[in-house]
Every structure is written in structure tokens, then in C-alpha cells.
């Protein structure tokens, strides 16, 4: 079976990853140009947003690949991908804003968590049946 849906979301999430990486680089450059004793809070925040993305997305994509290879309905795999993508974008915007937009951060975390929970259960049930 050829994967057709997961690569779409993997590519879109890779673009989000690049945007987050660019934000980290931008903060690093700002610190290098700043006088001694520059505040590194913005850099630390950007790094945490980027790291948080890296902590969640790979496992979620593995679950999507498993579901797609198991023959999950197209709409289910798209629901997994869209939920993950929306969740990670919302979380990234919410967490990187100053001040943080807590409703976006929490909503993004909730969407990501729901995607992981339901995808895990679907893959597990299919594997056991």
C-alpha cells in the first residue's frame, strides 16, 4: 500500500517546523547584535516552542503512518492530520506570543493530545483485531 495522505501532512508540518526554526535563528541573531547582557528570554521561548513541536509531531506522524498502512478510512487519516496541524499551529502561535495567548496554547495542546489519544486507540484496536 502506498502512503498518500500522511506525506501531505508531514510536508505541511515540516513547513511549520521551518518557520519555528527561523524564529529561533532570528532571536539568536538579535542577541548577537545586542550589547552585552542582552535578555535571552525571547530566545529561550522560541527554542521551547520549537522543541515542543519536535517532541510531539514525530510520534503523531508515526501513528498516522500506521493508521494509513492499516487501511484506515481516508477521512479518518485526514482528520488525524488536520487536527495535528491545527493543534501545532495554534500551540506555536499561542506559546510564542508575548504575552502568551493561553487559549491558543491550551487549545493547541488539547487538539494535539486528542489526536494522539484517538490515533493510538484506533491503531491499537486495529492491531489487536
- Give the pLDDT confidence score for residue 109 in this predicted structure: 98
What are the domain boundaries of the chain? 6-128
CB 45 within 8 A of CB 96: yes
pLDDT value for 41: 86
Note the pLDDT of residue 38.
62
The CA radius of gyration of the chain, in Å to the nearest whole number, is 17
Assigned architecture for domain 6-128: Up-down Bundle (1.20)
Decide: helix, strand or coil at residue 114: helix
Given this model, what pLDDT does residue 10 score?
Answer: 97
pLDDT of residue 35: 65
Query: Averaged in consecutive runs of 10 residues, what is the pLDDT profile of the chain (129 residues)?
Result: 94 97 91 69 92 98 98 97 98 95 98 98 95
Q: pTM of the full predicted structure?
A: 0.91
120, 66 contact by CB (below 8 A): no
Structural element, H or E, at residue 10: helix 6-33
Amino acid at each position: 500500500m502506498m502512503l498518500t495522505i500522511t506525506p501531505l501532512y508531514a510536508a505541511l508540518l515540516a513547513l511549520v517546523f521551518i518557520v519555528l526554526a527561523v524564529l529561533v535563528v532570528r532571536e539568536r541573531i538579535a542577541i548577537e547584535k545586542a550589547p552585552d547582557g542582552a535578555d535571552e528570554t525571547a530566545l529561550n521561548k522560541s527554542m521551547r516552542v520549537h522543541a515542543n513541536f519536535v517532541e510531539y509531531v514525530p510520534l503523531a506522524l508515526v501513528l498516522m503512518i500506521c493508521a494509513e498502512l492499516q487501511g484506515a478510512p481516508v477521512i479518518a487519516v485526514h482528520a488525524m492530520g488536520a487536527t495535528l496541524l491545527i493543534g501545532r499551529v495554534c500551540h506555536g502561535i499561542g506559546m510564542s506570543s508575548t504575552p502568551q495567548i493561553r487559549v491558543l496554547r491550551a487549545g493547541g495542546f488539547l487538539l494535539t493530545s486528542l489526536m494522539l489519544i484517538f490515533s493510538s486507540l484506533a491503531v491499537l484496536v486495529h492491531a489487536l483485531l
